[in-house]
Structure 1
């Protein structure tokens, strides 16, 4: 080849690479993407879809459908006493530093992190500035098995933990948790990210070892003593997943024991996802339920057509985009009341835990007599476990003799209407709390006529301010997370060409972070698909049956 020919060949190669690297977006039509659900997964999908598309100069229009009037899904914040200055998390309350997506979003959006425990019983009352001791106790319905007083020094607390459970048991349990979480964190990086098969990725990372057995079996296999497992660790799985060790797989068990660096966002964790949606530039359709996703059966991929209804169930005329190239179902399909037509995707219908959350305020502390302790030892946080030898399925939804999963004294404060110092409580339970139960735990008589609030369908809440000795309460019910029974297969995120699903992640690990991870994963899959289509377009436009070098030479 002559020198001139070599130069022309190099110029041709450079121009082709330039086309792939920079001119590709001009050849790719703008993608219209529908995201159904504005919880952690849907918000993350929209945010990362915009981010990845912008990185490659690709055009994308995002429409976000949300059946409620708010962003955040199960991250739900309410105002105690109806006062907007007194926030309480009803739903997903904490995340941890290792949760890279949430933690980085907090930094990027300038949100103010706070420890979910920093207020505790530090009095905010104008009448009494005395702080109360914060005591965490593990209760089995008969007795307190173990307690920790936060006012004690860290070395004394450590000594008591070692005395109770043993140094090597505690060390080995912590090492096991870090090992498991370390394997999971590889899901954020190549070659595991992005993943089209959650099952295959879990297998490649060795995480089926954890998901294939119960937490009870996993801990026994790794030589964690039964006392530590069934007392302390089971208290963690109950407060985090409303499940005993016999009914939850090993991976969620390890996640439940990893609260290091726990934090929340001042004013509500929902702000993370609200900021994600705003940063995505998505068109947001609130109070809009998707009733049907359909496509032309003769087409291997989109377009997909979406039918919606308003909050009253009537057909909703939408003057915007009628069809979409891609659809992301970012909500548990079984609760969506939507139908996917023409392709009949196989989507797991998995049982979810129905968790009842009760928030209330009272001038009364928890009863020393009920918990069988002296007044100075009354717990402020009560975690629960089963009595020794109890059936893990005993009581309502496995709650056992305790009847509830946790009670937290969130803080002390002045009732804004009466000025009276009160305690703000939060209860997780499998059923609605009763006046009799409240009377027992507070040690005061609450009449049967007291309306503790019948839980409404789909998690609607109810509040009142006219009952004593409880001055204010609020109730809510969540389909909070799947019952994480052992399994070795998981719903994949790709249902069909252009159709994606995020909630398969929940049977694997159910947290705000992991739902956001699946949203980020789906966004990357969509953008990678767009880049693949772009490369095909470039190859097609540069090919007419002749050698590329000869095309350039002859045209020049």
Structure 2
């Protein structure tokens, strides 16, 4: 666990020797009769939970004052729980070696390789601004070369001479990249409008409507691209390649918004030493109490102590510790928490998360695996230094989704990361590498399946029952015909259709940011889009909602006008 960073930033981290009751810290005490202190529990220390804590504390701070320097206008304590031993959630790094490793040619900042959530881009304002504010070192990635592999040959390979890459792309795909770029710019402009808006949103439906994202989120990528004149070749060789590596999805099982976001990779960058440091910084700046390696067993709703008061919530850990909070922020996929909720939650939807296998290999990639005399890119095997940094595969018989060089060592070896839908076989590794020093593997639920969303008031989900036809028979009364019709029609509402209808209702319920009064769900935004940056957008949105609730229930609100 990295507690040194928290100490430097002034955060209170209590991971060991925890007393039987939680000790919350919310700044200097304030007379309760004036401004009662509110308490917020955040379940999950990933991008969504840490950003919710960071922005909530920032929103409650007197305007123009730095965090922790003065008392909050509305005193609020924040406690973050996570069953893991680290901050960052699904944003994880793989440490290839130890800083004490005798091989000193590896810079320390390159020891940490992102498992997932590898990059962010310049227009990701929350991540970009936070990394600058926290003094983190940024590594630019735009000079890395990319190639597209179909399982037999390279279809396209970038050149270090950018004009040559542009001309090759124009020859292969025509003006399809320009058409897509126009669609991408329009969608990104809509999404980026969140940063200039002070509004908060109560549901995924409301957010999508306000930022004009519903049409892209409610249609399959394959249908969307075809309807906008994007050639099938470009869609399959470029767009689908991006959706496969970023979301483990082909164009026929991801909505268009997800596909467009994967194409917004200009100005790619990452934090040296790991992107998770952004979220460590958010926690530190928030002043929240952090309870790592702490699993929540139960959340129970308590009756108001007096008329007119809001109910509170009792949080119990698996260790039996209990604490009462005014608000709960769920910042982890609800189906993975295994928490006993005694708060009348609506039925949970079935959310399918993609299982991704990441394989890390130190050794020498065998170029002859990729190059044959018939290769349209090159008839000769290139040197190791000319080998592409990223090889991404099409939806073909390719044996992996992507292979990326993460570090080049002075002895000629590389450290590579391979994404695949299944574990890699020894036979494949033998063919991919001429030698291997070590191989390590990581499997995790990376992101949700981004299927088209049937927004409130729209048709979708279960197929409609076929029309029932009743044969005419003059000897049968009209009343009897009607009875037969209704009976047959009722039978057509099969169990599967009922399950689909129940699933649709559950999705709509969990599309609400505040699933029940006082309980907010960060991951309600994930069916729309799932990235580090959009998790922070969801976190900030919830921070605004909780801020409004705290301010609205403060008895001296009007007297505290600045």
TM-score band w.r.t. shorter chain: 0.7 to 0.9
Pair 1:524 & 2:538 matched: no
Pair 1:317 & 2:317 matched: no
The residue that corresponds to 1:4 in the other structure is none
Tell whether the 8 Å contact from 1:24 to 1:538 is kept in structure 2 after alignment. no
Pair 1:509 & 2:509 matched: no
Evaluate the alpha carbon distance shift between residue 180 and residue 432 of structure 1 in structure 2; reply closer, same or farther with a 3 A threshold.
Answer: same
Pair 1:357 & 2:361 matched: no
* Separation of aligned partners in 1, 2:329 and 2:448: 20
Pair 1:384 & 2:384 matched: no
The residue that corresponds to 2:78 in the other structure is 62
* Separation of aligned partners in 2, 1:302 and 1:422: 60
Tell whether the 8 Å contact from 1:333 to 1:349 is kept in structure 2 after alignment. no
* Separation of aligned partners in 1, 2:181 and 2:38: 46
Tell whether the 8 Å contact from 1:366 to 1:380 is kept in structure 2 after alignment. no
Evaluate the alpha carbon distance shift between residue 224 and residue 24 of structure 1 in structure 2; reply closer, same or farther with a 3 A threshold.
Answer: farther
Deviates more, 1:82-91 or 1:529-538: 529-538
* Separation of aligned partners in 2, 1:528 and 1:103: 26
Question: Aligned match of 1:35 in 42, 48, 53?
Answer: 42
Deviation at 1:346, TM superposition (A): 3.9
TM-score by length of 1: 0.76
Pair 1:267 & 2:273 matched: yes
* Separation of aligned partners in 2, 1:342 and 1:380: 50
* Separation of aligned partners in 2, 1:174 and 1:48: 32
SS in 2 for 1:279: helix
Tell whether the 8 Å contact from 2:142 to 2:266 is kept in structure 1 after alignment. no
Tell whether the 8 Å contact from 1:27 to 1:537 is kept in structure 2 after alignment. no
The residue that corresponds to 1:157 in the other structure is 165
Deviation at 1:342, TM superposition (A): 3.1
SS in 2 for 1:216: helix
Pair 1:254 & 2:260 matched: yes
Tell whether the 8 Å contact from 1:407 to 1:426 is kept in structure 2 after alignment. yes
SS in 1 for 2:523: coil
The residue that corresponds to 2:151 in the other structure is 141
Evaluate the alpha carbon distance shift between residue 29 and residue 370 of structure 1 in structure 2; reply closer, same or farther with a 3 A threshold.
Answer: same
Question: Aligned match of 2:317 in 308, 312, 323?
Answer: 308
Superposition pairs of residues 430-445 of structure 1, within 5 angstroms: 430-442=421-433, 444=434
Tell whether the 8 Å contact from 2:74 to 2:554 is kept in structure 1 after alignment. no
SS in 1 for 2:293: coil
Deviation at 1:298, TM superposition (A): 7.0
SS in 2 for 1:186: helix
Superposition pairs of residues 113-512 of structure 1, within 5 angstroms: 113-116=138-141, 134=145, 136-150=146-160, 153-166=161-174, 168-190=175-197, 193-296=199-302, 301-309=310-318, 315-317=319-321, 322-362=323-363, 364-372=364-372, 373=375, 374-376=380-382, 379-387=388-396, 401-414=397-410, 420-442=411-433, 444=434, 469-489=435-455, 491-512=511-532
Question: Aligned match of 1:534 in 545, 550, 554?
Answer: 554
Deviation at 1:323, TM superposition (A): 0.2
Gapped runs of 5+ residues in structure 2? Answer: 1-29, 63-71, 101-107, 456-507
The residue that corresponds to 1:96 in the other structure is 121
Over aligned residues, Cα RMSD in angstroms? 2.4
Tell whether the 8 Å contact from 1:356 to 1:432 is kept in structure 2 after alignment. yes
* Separation of aligned partners in 1, 2:33 and 2:138: 41
Deviation at 1:292, TM superposition (A): 1.2
Tell whether the 8 Å contact from 1:355 to 1:428 is kept in structure 2 after alignment. yes
Tell whether the 8 Å contact from 1:367 to 1:440 is kept in structure 2 after alignment. no
* Separation of aligned partners in 2, 1:497 and 1:375: 63
* Separation of aligned partners in 1, 2:443 and 2:432: 21
1:297-352 Cα distance to aligned partner (Å, 9 max, x none): 6788431011112xxxxx2436xxx1000010000011111121132234433100
Evaluate the alpha carbon distance shift between residue 139 and residue 26 of structure 1 in structure 2; reply closer, same or farther with a 3 A threshold.
Answer: farther
Deviation at 1:50, TM superposition (A): 0.9
* Separation of aligned partners in 2, 1:26 and 1:97: 46
Deviation at 1:173, TM superposition (A): 0.7
* Separation of aligned partners in 2, 1:527 and 1:380: 45
Deviation at 1:532, TM superposition (A): 1.3
Deviation at 1:291, TM superposition (A): 1.5
Q: How many residue pairs align between the two structures?
A: 447
Tell whether the 8 Å contact from 2:220 to 2:253 is kept in structure 1 after alignment. yes
